[in-house]
A and B are shown apart, each in its own frame.
Chain A
Amino acid sequence: MASLSARIVIRATNRELEIPTGLFIDNQFVPSVDSASEPIQAVNPSTEEPICSVVAGSAKDIDIAVAAARKAFNTTWGKNVTGFERSKLLNKLADLMERDQDILAEVESLNNGKPVKIARDFDIGDSIQCLRYYAGWADKITGQTIEVDNKTKLAFTKHDPIGVCGQIIPWNYPINMWAWKVGPALACGCTVVMKPSELTPLTALMLSKLIAEAGFPPGVVNTIPSLGSVGGAALSAHMDVDKVAFTGSTVTGRKIMEAAAKSNLKKVSLELGGKSPQIVFESADLDQAANWACLGILYNTGQDCTAGSRLYVQDTIYDKFISLLVSKAKELVIGDGFDEKSGGGPVVSKTQFDKVWRYIESGSTQGAKLALGGQKRPGKGFFVDPTIFTDINANMDIVRDEIFGPVLSVGRFKTEEEAISLANDTSYGLGAGLHSNDANQCMRVSSALEAGTVWVNQYNLLNNNVPFGGKKQSGIGRELGSYALEEYTSVKAVHWNFGEKLDWPL
């Protein structure tokens, strides 16, 4: 039997460590029950070298994990554990994540490519806060008592945990997306079968080890790295999974919702793609707006569902703003995540790299002008430098499609109405930003923008206690804040008769 751990060496920090590579079921790392299952290879996108391989789960493994989650839900979790207990365990998990933040940051950087410092201070820092935030909710899940007929009936609601939840997370923020999913689910008393992305399974497995260490009962959280078409499909179609939560592409989101509908009508929440616009009005602080615009498209090397990938600049300040924008975008150093100088890393894989370049080529072919970028780097690593297109029109692929790389499309507008119209001209509706010093304009435009999150004079920055999610085809449901609790709660209404006798026949 192959060993269920791998020794990896991180040369840049002189660190050697063992990471678990088995499937995590019932607090144990185990092999697949399917001998035919090909392992998944985790790759370093900065060097294109393999890091190690992990066991890939098959549909049968998903069955076993779901059964473990169901058993835990019926015996040691769900209504068998108090909110206070769930709160303690989630806080302990946060403490452990904090203890291991440096190691986790390095492995996150190694597998995803993002700079180590950003992984530690932002991805992991936010994740620890997220877990603590939901630890605080665990003992505050309240139903209502409702006034009906005081003489005969007591009516109240109980906010029960939904049950066994399948959670499918992406590769762009592996640890952060893990926390966003696990936090509210566990706070509400649900059990979890988690399918991390096959591109970035390593930190999910390390976090699974912390789940066991924190003291969660076996089966409460199970982790099955596998291909989306295998594990993800199995979870969405599973007859004993009560709810599936997915973050990823809109294309895959549709498949998940379809599978849910065709199987057991499980509850679905989706956090999908975006083609989020930023609007810069003439009264804006241009220097600040340019900073936020850069953050919007370059943070995480553009691999962000809310990436501000379309930018509309008012005519009167267009030239001035563009020159500011280009000079600032040039300042970002894209490089290896372990290099101190890197402000951004490579894109995560060859597939993504090729996809981003196809879009860059189409931009030029379809008539947009390159203000920055467009040169492929030679050598190893999936590095894509900041790329800015101008002179766009609404029909171009680079304007309609989500590219998921550091590629910005810039357009211009005359009036506020035009800007709003351009911004809303998309089937997506995840994020939007506007920059203006006219308060009334800020109010009008933020009201008019069709997006689940609107940033005024800012971009990209989220808070764990503020809800997040998409309008239109960017998603269903909300994460973060108290709103996430609704996704993991099933409401039961109880009508308790204590005073009415029924006559029969009526």
Chain B
Amino acid sequence: MPSAFTHEFNTPAFKGKVSFSTGLFINGQFVDGSDNTTIDVINPTNGKVITSVSEATPKDVDIAVEVAQKAFDTVWGLNASGATRSILMGKLAILMQENADELAALEALDNGKTFNFARNIDVASSIDCIRYYAGWADKVTGQVLETTEAKLTYTRHEPIGVVGQIIPWNFPLLMMAWKLGPALACGNTIVLKPSEFTPLTAIKMCHLLNEAGFPPGVINVLTGYGGTTGNAISSHMKIEKVAFTGSTLVGRKIMESAAKSNLKNVTLELGGKSPNIIFDDADLEQAVNWAAFGIFFNHGQTCTAGSRIFVQEGIYDEFLKRFTERTRSIKVGDPFAPETFQGPQVSEIQFNRIMSYIESGKQAGAKVEVGGERQGTEGYFIQPTVFTNVDSSMKIVQEEIFGPVGVVIKFKDEDDVIKQANDTVYGLAAAVFTPNLNRAINTAHRLKAGTAWINCVNSFNANVAFGGFKQSGIGRECGEYALHNYTSVKAVHVNLGHKM
């Protein structure tokens, strides 16, 4: 019998009691893992165990795939009309709205992000995303193509079947919504593995999925480790497609497993080392504010973090002065305290990684303008950190740190900065600050990135495509584009009179 997670929240931001089963969610039921083992969920503010959740094994993946296939063949896939799928997804969005505060509190609890951000960004955007894709469910159209009058040729955009989805710990609920939305809209059934670090909102969502009335087996959620559960999904012979968001390192493994198993379709949304380019005619105050948001939002744990900040010579000194001041003013602390901007990093592993990058920066001769140390003695808090005096050979300039650590680099002119900005294996996002829109558009077009922000950073919309160039990913999420990831196109040629 899987355990229940019961918790009393008594914080300035949120008060309330939660209680729900924490088993694997298979075929509409909460069950123990087949090895009866569990995973501890840690509170990153103090390193203590919050609760434990059931652990999935490859055997559980097999079971989930079987029920997902059965659901696809009988009650989902093309057996459920787009209108039906739309209605269920609409109900889910309503339930998420009704449970918004609880979802935000759960997210803040195991991820460490502030309750305010969780509520106003993560949860709000997740609801918008589900609503948006509910609207697509009855609008998945193929084409009729003109060939000759002796033939009727058309395409069908069919659901793929059972899809595997592996999501990260940085925006647990939002990443779940980005995955469920288009997959369900197109009629697929799902086996989803949330991060073992942040399973709480995913499990709560399973309860909402039941309440909304999704038939059992349509969505199955398995909490488990990447190396076992994730690997079982990406190498499964009966999963026709895998979608992954996470590190580039793991993304490669997933694509490899897909290739070695059944050549399943793969979409990847990976890391970044996104440049934030500030020209000397930029609105300085705005540039400083956006740059801070770009690197310190979500504790730097954002794939699109503007972690390389390029500042044109003319305003470099003034920018740096204001930027470090701005950084110093960031409140780091309890996610449930209303004035907190930055909570702890998500786990001990991440904490150690980030601290070792900071150490490597110091060792390589970069200058710490602000921060550079652990914050406090308990939990995984790190001071917002800014390095200058860097060069492109340094790890802190090349590699994704995924923490509140930015580097500021001086540049001369457009050609110079574009060359530096593009000098990375990544290509997820980029930002440009200048009121000169001709230059902004030109620069944005020359940057090798899947998203180019002009005079803003980290600005997302459910209906705007998102994804990476180069080693930042394959495929696009959000908007209509995400539907392409979850449909299988069949062309039908009907011969009307051509005799052989």
Residues of A whose CB lies within 8 Å of any CB of B are: 83-84, 87-88, 91, 129, 132-133, 135-140, 142, 150, 154, 440, 443-444, 447, 464-465, 482, 496, 498-499
Q: Is the CB of A498 within 8 A of B86?
A: no
Residues of B within 8 A of A482 (CB): 139, 141
Contact among A84, A132, A137, A142 with B128 in the assembled complex (CB-CB below 8 Å) = A84
Complex Cα distance, B138 from A464, in Å, reads 9
Interface members, chain B 36-82 (any A CB < 8 Å): 82
Q: Is the CB of B441 within 8 A of A139?
A: no
A457 to chain B, nearest CB (A): 16
Q: Which of B10-18, B129-137, B197-205, B290-298 contacts A (4 or more CB under 8 A)?
A: B129-137
Q: Is the CB of B139 within 8 A of A132?
A: no
A433 to chain B, nearest CB (A): 18
Q: Is the CB of B135 within 8 A of A140?
A: yes
Known contacts: A87-B135, A137-B135. The answer to whether A440 contacts B480 by CB under 8 A is: no
Residues of B within 8 A of A465 (CB): 82, 138-139
Complex Cα distance, B435 from A45, in Å, reads 67
Residues of A within 8 A of B438 (CB): 498-499
Q: Interface centre among A136, A140, A142, A498, by most B CB within 10 Å?
A: A136
Q: Which residue of A lies closest to B131 (CB)?
A: A87
Contact among B141, B463, B496 with A140 in the assembled complex (CB-CB below 8 Å) = B463
B83 within 8 Å of A (CB atoms): yes
* Ranked 3 nearest A-B pairs via Cβ: A136-B135, A498-B438, A443-B496
Contact among B135, B137, B141 with A135 in the assembled complex (CB-CB below 8 Å) = B135
B489 within 8 Å of A (CB atoms): no
Residues of B within 8 A of A84 (CB): 128, 131-132
Residues of B whose CB lies within 8 Å of any CB of A are: 82-83, 86-87, 90, 128, 131-132, 134-139, 141, 149, 152, 437-438, 441-442, 445, 462-463, 480, 494, 496-497
Q: Which residue of A lies closest to B152 (CB)?
A: A443
Q: Is the CB of B139 within 8 A of A83?
A: no
Complex Cα distance, B436 from A499, in Å, reads 12
Contact among B437, B445, B463 with A139 in the assembled complex (CB-CB below 8 Å) = B463
A167 to chain B, nearest CB (A): 23
Complex Cα distance, B152 from A488, in Å, reads 31
Q: Is the CB of B139 within 8 A of A136?
A: yes
Q: Is the CB of B90 within 8 A of A443?
A: no
13 sample A-B contacts, Cβ–Cβ < 8 Å, listed by A number: A84-B128, A87-B131, A91-B90, A132-B90, A136-B135, A137-B135, A140-B135, A140-B480, A142-B480, A150-B445, A464-B83, A498-B438, A498-B442
Residues of A within 8 A of B149 (CB): 447
B85 to chain A, nearest CB (A): 11
B263 to chain A, nearest CB (A): 32
Residues of B within 8 A of A88 (CB): 131
Q: Is the CB of A132 within 8 A of B463?
A: no
Complex Cα distance, B343 from A484, in Å, reads 49
Contact among B132, B139, B441, B496 with A444 in the assembled complex (CB-CB below 8 Å) = B496
Q: Is the CB of A443 within 8 A of B86?
A: no
Complex Cα distance, B434 from A498, in Å, reads 14
Complex Cα distance, B137 from A129, in Å, reads 13
Given contacts A84-B132, A440-B496, A464-B83, list 19 more A-B pairs with CB under 8 A.
Answer: A84-B131, A87-B135, A88-B131, A132-B86, A133-B86, A136-B86, A136-B134, A139-B135, A139-B462, A140-B135, A140-B139, A140-B463, A154-B441, A443-B496, A447-B149, A464-B138, A465-B139, A482-B141, A499-B442
Complex Cα distance, B463 from A76, in Å, reads 22
Residues of B within 8 A of A138 (CB): 135
B99 to chain A, nearest CB (A): 18
